[in-house]
Amino acid sequence: MAASPATRSDHAPGQGDGLTYAQSGVDIQAGDKVVDLIKATLRKTHGPRVLGPHGGFAGMFRLDFNEKLFKRNYRDPVLVACTDGVGTKVKLAAELEVFDTVGIDCVAMNVNDMIVQGAEPLFFLDYLGLHKTDPERTAQIISGVARGCEIAGCALIGGECAEMPDIYAEGDFDIAGFAVGVVELSRAIDPMRVEPDDVIIGLSSSGIHSNGYTLVRKVMEVAGLDPSSTHEQIGAGTLGSILLEPTRIYSRTIVQLLSGYKKKRVISGMAHITGGGIAGNLARALPGDVDAEIDMASWQVPPLFGFLQDHGRIDREEMYNVFNMGIGYTIIARPAFVDSIMKKLVRLGETPTIIGRITSGTGEVRLEDRS
C-alpha cells in the first residue's frame, strides 16, 4: 500500500512533451487515491501498540509494553514470521469481479500457519501486484485484508501496491501477505512432544479455503460449469459464490484455547490443513517415532467436495491429497484433557470432531475408512 509522494512528477524538467509514466501504463495518482481510500480501514485494525503515521516507508509495532496498561510483558519472546498468498483463487475472483474476499484468504493462509507454533499474530503486511490501479477495486481488495486482520486480531500496518501492466494481463492481479507474531519460548508448540495415545481433533473448514483452485477451475472447464449456476447438491448460492467463500481464520480460537492452559501443556501439536491435504500437513506435526491414524468416517465431508469429485471424475485418493475435505485445522492433545478442550472449542464457536489418534510408528499419516 505504499505510494509515491504526491510531489513526485513523471514529467521531468527539460524534457518537453516526452513520455510520462502514466503513458507507459502506471498511474501514480491512482495509487495515491488508494492510500486515501484505505486510511480509515487500516486504522480499524490498529491498537495502541502501532506507532508512527500512516503512509510512512515502514510500519512500527511495539513488542513490549507498559505492564500498568497491558496484561504483561514478554519474558522470553520468540518472533514467528511467515508469508503466503492465495494461489489461483485470485483468478476466479478476478473473473467473477469479486474483490472483497481474497484479502481475508490471504490473512488466513498466513496466520493459520503461524498459530501452529503457538504464536499470537501481531501484525500483517500485504502486497498487491496489479495490471492497473483501479482505486475503488483496489480498495475493496485491501478492505478484505483489513477485515481478515480484524478477525485474526492483528494490525495491518503497511503494504505495497505494484502496478505492472507488462507482468499482469488486463483484469489480473495477485496478492501475498507477510505476518509476524510472538510466542513465549516456554509455550512454543514442539512437535517432538507428540506421543502415542494423543488424540487428534479436527476443526471444520468453510469450504475449499485457498488450495487446489487450479484443479477446481479445470473441473469447471472440463464439465462446462457456469459459476453463476446454482446446484441443490451444494446448497444455496451460486457455484462461484460458494467457491469464493473465504478461508476460516482460527487464530482467536487457538490463542484463547492456549491461554486457558497457562501451566499444563495439554496440546502437543497442531497442523493447518492446506495443499497436500490432511495427510501431507499432519505429517509435518509428527516426530519420527509416531504415526497418526485418521478415521475418514468420523466427520461429514461437505457436499461441495463430492460435487467437484463427480464432475471432474477425480479419484478419492486424489481428492484427499489435494483438498482439506472439510477439516481446516487439527489439534493433537493429551487424552486426559480432550473433554475439556472439546468443551472450550465449542464455547469458542468451533465444531470440533475427534478424527484420529497417535500410535507408535515412523512419522506416517494413515487415512482409514472405518464406516
Residue 58, pLDDT score: 76
In CATH, what number is assigned to the domain containing residue 358? 3.90.650.10
Residues 211 and 97 in one domain: no
| Final residue belonging to a domain, choices 160, 186, 212 | 186
DSSP 72-102: ---SSEEEEEEEEE-TTHHHHHHHHT--SSH
Which contacts qualify for 90-94: CB closer than 8 Å, 24 or more apart?
A: 90/172, 90/173, 90/174, 90/175, 91/172, 91/213, 91/217, 92/213, 92/216, 92/217, 92/227, 92/240, 92/243, 92/244, 93/244, 94/171, 94/172, 94/173
CA–CA separation, 278 vs 85, rounded Å?
20
Q: Is residue 54 part of a domain?
A: no
The alpha carbons of the chain give a radius of gyration, in whole angstroms, of 23
CA–CA separation, 22 vs 15, rounded Å?
15
Handedness of CA 330, 334, 335, 336 (dihedral sign): negative
Mapping DSSP to helix (H, G, I), strand (E, B) and coil, where does residue 15 land? Answer: coil
What share of residues in the chain are helix, strand, coil (percent, to 5)? 35, 25, 40
Q: Is residue 320 part of a domain?
A: yes
Residues 256 and 215 in one domain: yes
Residues 217 and 355 in one domain: yes
Domain containing residue 105 = 29-45+71-186
Residues 241 and 169 in one domain: no
State the pTM of this model: 0.87
Residues 127 and 224 in one domain: no
Residues 255 and 173 in one domain: no
Residues 203 and 261 in one domain: yes
| Final residue belonging to a domain, choices 186, 219, 234 | 186
CA–CA separation, 146 vs 162, rounded Å?
18
Residues 167 and 198 in one domain: no
Residues 108 and 152 in one domain: yes
CA–CA separation, 28 vs 21, rounded Å?
8
Q: Is residue 131 part of a domain?
A: yes
One digit per residue, the tens of pLDDT, for the chain of length 371 reads 444 333 333 444 445 567 655 655 656 566 566 666 666 666 777 777 777 766 667 777 777 666 555 455 678 889 999 999 999 999 999 999 999 999 999 999 999 999 999 999 999 999 999 998 888 999 999 999 999 999 999 999 988 989 999 999 999 999 999 999 999 999 999 999 999 999 999 999 999 999 999 999 999 999 999 999 999 999 999 999 999 999 999 999 999 999 999 888 999 999 999 999 999 999 999 999 999 999 999 999 999 999 999 999 999 999 999 999 999 999 999 999 999 999 999 999 999 999 999 999 999 999 998 77
**Residues 363 and 196: beta-carbon distance below 8 Å:** no
Residues 244 and 346 in one domain: yes
Q: Is residue 24 part of a domain?
A: no
CA–CA separation, 121 vs 95, rounded Å?
32
Q: Is residue 348 part of a domain?
A: yes
Residues 202 and 339 in one domain: yes
In CATH, what number is assigned to the domain containing residue 111? 3.30.1330.10
Q: Is residue 244 part of a domain?
A: yes
Residues 195 and 309 in one domain: yes
Q: Are strands 290-295 and 365-368 parallel, antiparallel or unpaired?
A: parallel
Query: How many domains, in total, are found in the chain?
Result: 2
Q: Is residue 302 part of a domain?
A: yes
Q: Which of 216, 224, 205 is nearest to 327 (CA)?
A: 205
| Final residue belonging to a domain, choices 166, 186, 206 | 186
Residue 238, pLDDT score: 97
C-alpha cell at 244: 469464493
Q: Is residue 111 part of a domain?
A: yes
